[in-house]
Amino acid sequence: MARFPSPLFLLLLFSLLLGCPPVGDSIDDDDDAVGDDDDAVGDDDDDVGDDDDAVGDDDDDASVDADNDGVWSEDDCDDNDASLGAIADDADCDGSLTADDCDDSDPEAYPGASEVLDDGIDQNCNGGDELFCEGDFVYITAEYCAVITGNLQVSQNVILENLDGLSSLTEVQGNVRIEDNLALTDVSGLSNVTDIGGFFLFAENPAVVILPDLPNLFSLGGLTIKENANLEEIEGFSGLTVLDGALSLEANFALTTIGPIPNLTTVDSLYSIFNGNLVDLSGFSGISSVNGNVVLRGFGLLGDLSGVSNLRWVTGDIQVRENQFLYDISGLSNLIELGGDLDIYNNQQLCQSFVDAFVAEYGPFSGTQQPNYPGC
C-alpha cells in the first residue's frame, strides 16, 4: 500500500519553503537536543531562559533578573553575579561604586586594586601611581614609593605626626630608620611593608605610646626598638617570620607589654636591656634558637623567665643580670645547648641557692653565676 507523508510533515515542509518560522512543531531546530518551544513569539532558540513574552526577543529583556539581585539584566553589570550591581551605579562594572571609584571608566582601577608600578595610572585609588624607587629616600621623597632599593630614613622631623605618606611602601631593600621624631604618634602608615632587607631601627620617638602590629611584615634584617621614652606597648609582629639579625629592645623605660611574635623561631641575638617596666616576656615565646647572645638585663618588675621557656639552642652567652625582682630562672630549663657562658648575677631577689641548684642540675656552665640574693 502506498505511503503518504503525514499532514504535519507537509505543513512543516510548506512553512520552510515559504521561509516562515516553524510554528508549534516538535523539531529541535538548533540541534542541541533541548526542546525548542517554537511558538513564534520571538524565539532565538538559544534555550536560555526563553520567556516568550514577545518583547524582543534575545532573552535579556527587562523582565529577567537571573542572579536575583534586584537589577534587571539590561541594567546589570553581570546578571550571573549577584555581587555586581547596576551599571548606573558602577559604570565600569568593577565592583566599586561610582562615588568610590577613582576612575569609573577603568575597570582595572578601584580601591584595593593591584598596582602596576611606574605606569602613570593610579590603580588602587590612593592618589597616585606607585613607584619603584632606586636609591636612598627620606619621608618627603618616599611618598608613593612601593619599593625602595636603598635606605629609608625618617628622622629629626619635629612636625611629622604619622607615617601615612608611606602607605604605598611594601619593600625596603636597605635599612629603615625611624628616629628622633618629636611629634610622631602614629606608625600605622608602615602597615603595608612586607620586607626590610636591612635593619629596622625605631628609636627616640618620644610621643609614640603604642607601636602597632605590622601584620604584613614578614622579613627583617634586624630589629631594634630603643629609647622611646613613652612607649608602653609593642603590639607584636604577627606576621614576622624571618629575622636575619638581632632582636633588641633597649631602654624603653615605660614599656610594659610586648605582644606575640608567633612565627619567629630564630634570631641572631636577643636583647632586652633596661626595659624596667616590662613584666612579661611571652612575646618571645616562639623563639627556640638564638645564633648569638641572649641578654636579659635591667628589669625592674619581671619575676620569672617563663616567656623564654621555649629557648633550646643558644650559640653564644646567656646573661641574666641586674633584675631587681627576678626570683625564678626555671624558664631556662629547656635549654638543650649553650655554646657560651651562663652569666647569672646581681639579681637582688634571686636566691643564690636556686641558682646553684639550677647549675647543678643542668650544668656545668662556664661563666659567672654569683652573687645573687644570699638570704634563702
In the complex, which residues of this chain contact Ca ion (CB under 5 A)? 65, 67, 69, 71, 76, 79, 90, 92, 94, 96, 101, 103-104, 106, 109-110, 115-116, 119, 121, 123, 129
Q: What is the DSSP letter of 114?
A: P
Judged by CB, which is closer to Ca ion: 49, or 363? 49
Judged by CB, which is closer to Ca ion: 26, or 98? 98
CB of 146 to Ca ion, least distance (A): 9
Helix (H) or strand (E) holding 142: helix 139-142
CB of 314 to Ca ion, least distance (A): 47
Distance between CA atoms of residues 139 and 155, nearest Å: 8
Taking the chain, what is the end-to-end CA distance rounded to the nearest angstrom?
A: 126
Judged by CB, which is closer to Ca ion: 42, or 107? 107
Angle, vertex CA 31, rays to CA 27 and CA 33, nearest 5: 80
Quote the cell numbers at residue 299.
628589669
Judged by CB, which is closer to Ca ion: 121, or 359? 121
Judged by CB, which is closer to Ca ion: 2, or 99? 99
Judged by CB, which is closer to Ca ion: 121, or 279? 121
How far from 102 is each of 59, 125, 206, CA to CA, in Å?
34, 5, 37
CB of 86 to Ca ion, least distance (A): 8
Give the nearest residue (CB) to Ca ion. 101
Cβ-proximal residues to 303 (8 Å cutoff; 6+ apart), any chain: 279, 325, 326, 327, 328
Distance between CA atoms of residues 146 and 88, nearest Å: 34
The dihedral region occupied by 93, where left means phi > 0, alpha psi between -120 and 50, and beta the remainder, is left
Q: Which of 302, 159, 178, 167 is nearest to 228 (CA)?
A: 178
Judged by CB, which is closer to Ca ion: 109, or 154? 109
DSSP codes, 276-320: TT----GGGTT--EESS-EEEE--SS--B-GGGTT--EESS-EEE
CB of 110 to Ca ion, least distance (A): 4
CB of 127 to Ca ion, least distance (A): 11
